[in-house]
Amino acid sequence: MRFLVGVLMLLVSGSALATIDVMPFKDEAQEQQFRQLTEQLRCPKCQNNSIA
């Protein structure tokens, strides 16, 4: 039983270390374009709310 709990704890702790890589923008214009796109894009499931 202890072994099973230990393995489970090991698996759960491994997923906590998984992070999403943040990709920086090349320049200010690219960041501005991203912000404009996220304001315009709409979620079809969330009653047409903005993605931003």
Q: Is the pLDDT of residue 44 over 70?
A: yes
Look at residue 11 in the predicted model and tell me its pLDDT.
79
Residue with the two structure tokens 């709990």: 5
Can you list the alpha helix ranges (DSSP code H) found in the chain?
2-16, 28-40
**Angstrom distance (rounded) from CA 37 to CA 31:** 10
User: For residue 27, is pLDDT > 90?
Assistant: yes
pLDDT of residue 34: 92
- For residue 16, pLDDT over 70 is answered with no
DSSP state of 52: -
Instruction: Let me know: does 6 contact 14? Beta carbons within 8 Å.
Output: no
